[in-house]
Each structure stands twice: as structure tokens, then as C-alpha cells.
Amino acid sequence: MKTHSVVLIPGDGIGPEVSDAVLAILEAAGAPVRFETFHAGLGALERGATDVLPEDTVQAIQSHHVALKGPCSTPVGRGFSSVNVALRRTLNLYVALRPVRSLPGVKTRFENVDLIIVRENTEGLYSGIENLITDGVVVSMKVATRSACHRIAHWTFRYATHRRRKKISVFHKANIMKMSDGLLLDESRKVHARDYPNIEYQEVIIDAATMRMVQDPSQFDIILCENLYGDIVSDLCAGLIGGLGVAPGANIGDTDAVFEAVHGSAPDIAGKDLANPLSLLMSSVMMLEHLAEQRADPRCKEAATSVTAAYTKALADEQKTKDLGGSLGTKQFTQAVIDRLGA
């Protein structure tokens, strides 16, 4: 059986360090993937590209359909729009999927956190439509379309069914933004009533929801949000399980998927061997599970299971990077995971 060709975007700041770590672990695990490197963000500009999201990078993802992406920096104040927003919009990656699970050996306020955040990835305030109305007055447009609200609601209920999850909570502010947030509620209610009545469904106002999450996250299961709330709630959830170093994610569309850590390029620790590669490693496990399902390749599932077991064992053995209270550098932690593969 052949190996799967996947695009690798190493990214900026700590991106190349955590990408190297992940590549070493996947290779040691015998994952049947071959990476082809393309660039985005500052890395692309430094290599002579005129845009932070070069056309050849987009085309490579469209041709391979799967990418693993390190965090990218967008230069501020130089007229470039965000790499991440552009990538999600260009490839129509309308789902941001972010699983949030407690890890052994990582002490946090709560045990047994097991949440899934589904964030609508293409609309809301991230549509980037801002108008200067008059000097000192700016209007920023929050876009919601019925088709995108239906699409994300339907995807979430279908995902919940496949994964045997019990409950979907939509976080919203439809008491104020009656039309835009109202549209997501409207479509979610319809999809629930018509196609998935067996899944428990609830609507929670976002401000009360965030308070409830930090009091007791176990009252939620799958959380569906529009773009901005999803962005904020994802980081809040990362805080529940140990921080940005352990929060993986995927951006998924109908044909392409880009797997990436929730964290950014962390310029404050870049090049110092301090970055925790777990976020990107866990994202690569999601990528392997995606390949296993989409291409019916059990070898990808085996590699995903083996890598998960190895990093879980490393953490349980108190092998941790500094952000988790340990003392290991990026390279030492990588080796600790490799040493536990197949153990």
C-alpha cells in the first residue's frame, strides 16, 4: 500500500521546532505519510513570495487534500490579511474542530474534561468587512448566512452521531444579535428537530456559558459557536486542560482539511527549545485518524493509536515541557515520546 502525500507548512516562530518534533515522532511510529513542504506567513515572504499565502501552497493543499500546519505570523501593518483567515476562506474550511481532553500528569482545576468545540470558520466578524463611516467611527460587519449556519449545524449533528456524543450546546448572544446569532439558532433547531431528535440540544447565552464552563465543564459535551465566540471559547478550553501547548485542532471542508495547533507562533520562546510540540503532535494524530477514515487505511489508525499511547505514557511518567511544569526542552520531550513508542 502506498504512503499518503501530505502538505507540511512548518510556519513561523516555534513552528519549525514543533514541526521537526512531530515529523521525528511520526517517522519513528512508522506512520504511512510523506510530507511535502510549502510555506505561508513570514516564512513565505522570507523565501521571496509576494503574499503570505502563496498560490503554490494553496494549490498543493487542493491537490493533496490534507495539510499539517505550524502557526503562521501575519506581519502587522503591512497590508496583509491574516494567513489563517485567508486559508480557511480560500479552501472553504468551514469547520474548526477542537477536542479538549484532560491529560495524565497535567494537573489542572478539573479532571476528566472531555469537550469538543465546533467553530464556524468562514463568517461572523472574521469576514473582515470594516468601513470607516466618518472620522473616528468604524463599522465592522458580522456576516451570517443561512447556508453557512445550516452547513455547520448539520456537520455538528452528524459528527455527534458518528462519534456517539450525547449533547450539543450552541453558545450565542441572540438576545442582542437577534438576526445574526438568531440565524444559527434557527438552523440548529431545524436540523435537530428534523434529522437528529435523539441528540440532546440546548442553547446557552455566551457570557453565562463561559462562567458555567469554568465552574463545571462536565455539564457540556459538544459546543457549537459562531466564529468569534469559538475562537475565545477554544482558548478558554485550552486553559481547562493545561494551556495552549496541549490544544490540537483541525480546519475541515468538504474536500480539504488542514490540521494545526490552536496556539500561535509564540515569538517570545521561538528558537529556545522551550516549545511544547504536543499541540501539533495531537493535531497530527487527528490528521492520521482523518486519513484512516477518508482513505480506509487502518495503518493510519494504528499509527495514531501508537503515538497517542506514547505521549500519554510520557506525560504519565512526568516527562513534560516547562509550560506544563516540567523541565524538558522540545527535543528531550520529543525523544521521551519516541522512546515510549510501542512500549
99 is a contact residue toward ligand NAI (CB under 6 A):
no
Alpha carbons 112 and 295: distance in angstroms, whole number: 31
Q: Which is nearer to ligand NAI, 103 or 244 (CB)?
A: 244
For the chain, first and last CA: distance in Å?
A: 26
The half-sphere exposure of 114 on its side-chain side, counting CA atoms within 13 A, is 6
| DSSP strand pairing (137-140 vs 130-134) | antiparallel
Of 99, 80, 69, which is closest to residue 8 (Cα–Cα)?
69
Of 158, 320, 111, which is closest to residue 254 (Cα–Cα)?
158
265 is a contact residue toward ligand NAI (CB under 6 A):
yes
Q: Which is nearer to ligand NAI, 87 or 300 (CB)?
A: 87
Part in contact with ligand NAI (CB under 6 A); list of ranges 133-141, 146-154, 158-166, 264-272? 264-272
Is 293 in contact with 163 (CB distance < 8 Å)?
no
Of 213, 259, 251, which is closest to residue 233 (Cα–Cα)?
213
To the nearest whole angstrom, how small is the minimum distance from the Cβ of residue 15 to ligand NAI? 8
| DSSP strand pairing (4-9 vs 95-101) | unpaired
- Buried b vs exposed e over 65-92: b needs ≥16 C-beta within 10 Å? bbbbbbbbbbeeeeebebbbbbbbbebb
CB atoms within 10 A of CB 251: 24
264 is a contact residue toward ligand NAI (CB under 6 A):
yes
275 is a contact residue toward ligand NAI (CB under 6 A):
yes
232 is a contact residue toward ligand NAI (CB under 6 A):
no
Q: Which residues contact 229 (CB under 8 A, 6 or more apart)?
A: 119, 171, 172, 173, 206
Mapped onto helix, strand or coil, the DSSP state of residue 102 is coil
Subset of residues 11 to 50 that bind ligand NAI, contact rule: CB under 6 A: 14
Q: Which is nearer to ligand NAI, 18 or 160 (CB)?
A: 18
To the nearest whole angstrom, how small is the minimum distance from the Cβ of residue 334 to ligand NAI? 13
319 is a contact residue toward ligand NAI (CB under 6 A):
no
Alpha carbons 113 and 115: distance in angstroms, whole number: 6
The correct pick among 24, 269, 309, 338 for binding ligand NAI (CB under 6 A) is: 269
To the nearest whole angstrom, how small is the minimum distance from the Cβ of residue 310 to ligand NAI? 18
Part in contact with ligand NAI (CB under 6 A); list of ranges 23-31, 56-64, 96-104, 266-274? 266-274
Q: Which is nearer to ligand NAI, 181 or 226 (CB)?
A: 226
Q: Which is nearer to ligand NAI, 98 or 165 (CB)?
A: 98
260 is a contact residue toward ligand NAI (CB under 6 A):
yes
Count, residues near ligand NAI per rule CB under 6 A = 20
Which residue has the closest beta carbon to ligand NAI?
Answer: 264
Q: Which is nearer to ligand NAI, 262 or 292 (CB)?
A: 262
The correct pick among 29, 61, 244, 303 for binding ligand NAI (CB under 6 A) is: 244
**Phi/psi of residue 110, each to 5°?**
-120, 150
The correct pick among 102, 156, 180, 279 for binding ligand NAI (CB under 6 A) is: 279
> By the criterion CB under 6 A, which residues form the site for ligand NAI?
14, 71-74, 84, 244-245, 260, 263-269, 275-276, 279, 323
